[in-house]
Structure 1
């Protein structure tokens, strides 16, 4: 059956729109990548768009020689790995309990959880709570407050509720308790939803910068995103030259080939590319994982 003229026009319009949307989305990233590989002085003249006009690795050389950058990168990696594992594990365990209809007060607990999605205590009460818990200037301030996500719990709970009851009954007949059923039966069947929510949680941990500015006083414990924000708001060359203490940096400054913008773009690429590289490995789980955990109640 041939498509009508109207169908062909509509398909052409859709593809054209998607192409324009893709270009609009990709251009800022490609421009930042080009600037990061271009000499700073040449960039300041303008005209650098999608390809470096004066190619150089000096910007990345400075970034990787800066101890503060590498420390922030390490903190971000540790935070993302530890935060994702603990959050998914604790949220899934909580959701598994909430999926049991025989749980006393189940509806009350659910209402209390949903209220926290819409209403928060505010910054000052949160600051006082973190201080009283002894988490100030600690790595665990990035992990513990976000260990359980209500939205993720709802998706997990809905997915667990949709699993055949016979699976758990068979496991109990074979001698499995609740923990054995969860880790040997439920978790292996929950691959798509675990992969999807793990990615969302990892991206949130990697991109978050606000907590460090509030609860961390030691800059050596800043994640890479907080450091990047500082660099974007300040003149990196003048403020960090003493910290880098690099002869190569001094030579580059004398040659005036490095600018605040070029270094900021290089830092942005270092902070962005690692999490982007994770997407292709879990992309196939997106639709299946989210829909399976959200369509059936």
Structure 2
């Protein structure tokens, strides 16, 4: 057996510093989430005394009972789930369809379209012109304001484009010989073999849709159309957030406070996307490597 090479003192110190730095980064990343979770599972009145850092001092699920008893929160959650699912499907399909068209060398004006798309990566219209456009399109206080303005992304198109260029042309040629048109080839061949790219873009856009609060703040005044993140933003921003307690029907118990409901709402809004990530991680990692290696 070959003996393992002994590390020099410098290498040992370097490895130790790396391990220490990673521990610090992990702690700084994870602890705030743990702090919110612990306080959301603690009695609200007891939590006002402070000093809860690692484990609940008085375990209670009444904060979550109050959250799910609030019709406004549940409506906002429904809007968030709907706009995330619908938005991801439309965004992925539309962006992939445009990318597939631009991946064809025979497309007339292909270089011009790519130039126009590249410009949008560096320059935008600005907030006021965008608001005026949304208003002229009659999408204020409309569910489609969450879907149509972000149904296409040139950055995501680049990821799709890199993947599509690596698909063997023989697959398309064989399908055309069998009588398939371009749309059939795209739906039945290109999309199925591009699942790593699809999963990557779906995760990117799904996280964006789930976490987006600004669209609801800027374009939606109807409380029945506001997503959970906008609802949470308003709860945190309003100093008189005790109205959230009042909306739970007098609260489940006096132990529930506005602060404890904030904590519970944060957990409820964050948990679904955190649970979904591990199932998409393998596709996400593979998708990020698109174009870096030739298979």
TM-score (norm 1): 0.93
Provide the residue aligned with 1:273 in structure 2: 271
Structure 1 pair 236–225 and aligned structure 2 pair: CA distance change class (3 A): farther
Provide the residue aligned with 2:95 in structure 1: 91
Q: Deviations over 1:106-164 (max 9, x none)?
A: 11111111111211111221111111111111111100110001100111011111211
Give the whole-Å Cα distance in 2 for the aligned partners of 1:116 and 1:137: 26
1:4 Cα shift? 1.7
- Correspondent of 1:57 among 56, 61, 65: 61
Structure 1 pair 202–221 and aligned structure 2 pair: CA distance change class (3 A): same
- Correspondent of 1:122 among 123, 126, 147: 126
- Residue 47 of structure 1 pairs with residue 45 of structure 2: no
- Correspondent of 1:4 among 2, 7, 12: 7
Provide the residue aligned with 1:154 in structure 2: 158
Task: Please tell me whether the aligned partners of residues 66 and 245 of structure 2 are also in contact (alpha carbons under 8 angstroms).
Answer: no
Task: Please tell me whether the aligned partners of residues 236 and 263 of structure 1 are also in contact (alpha carbons under 8 angstroms).
Answer: no
Task: Please tell me whether the aligned partners of residues 193 and 293 of structure 1 are also in contact (alpha carbons under 8 angstroms).
Answer: no
Tell me the matched-pair count: 290
Give the whole-Å Cα distance in 1 for the aligned partners of 2:291 and 2:262: 39
Aligned Cα root-mean-square deviation (Å):
1.6
Provide the residue aligned with 1:30 in structure 2: 34
Task: Please tell me whether the aligned partners of residues 37 and 59 of structure 1 are also in contact (alpha carbons under 8 angstroms).
Answer: yes
Q: Deviations over 1:224-256 (max 9, x none)?
A: 000001111124653234533x14x1x63xx4x
Q: Deviations over 1:69-121 (max 9, x none)?
A: 00000000000000000000000000000111111111111111111121111
Provide the residue aligned with 1:21 in structure 2: 25
Give the whole-Å Cα distance in 2 for the aligned partners of 1:240 and 1:12: 48
Provide the residue aligned with 1:287 in structure 2: 285
Task: Please tell me whether the aligned partners of residues 84 and 202 of structure 1 are also in contact (alpha carbons under 8 angstroms).
Answer: yes
Map 1:133-282; keep pairs closer than 5 Å. Answer: 133-235=137-239, 238-244=242-248, 246-247=249-250, 249=251, 252=253, 255=254, 257-282=255-280
1:27 Cα shift? 0.4
Give the whole-Å Cα distance in 1 for the aligned partners of 2:137 and 2:24: 50
Give the whole-Å Cα distance in 1 for the aligned partners of 2:162 and 2:52: 49
Please list every run of 5 or more consecutive structure 2 residues that lacks an aligned counterpart in the other structure: none
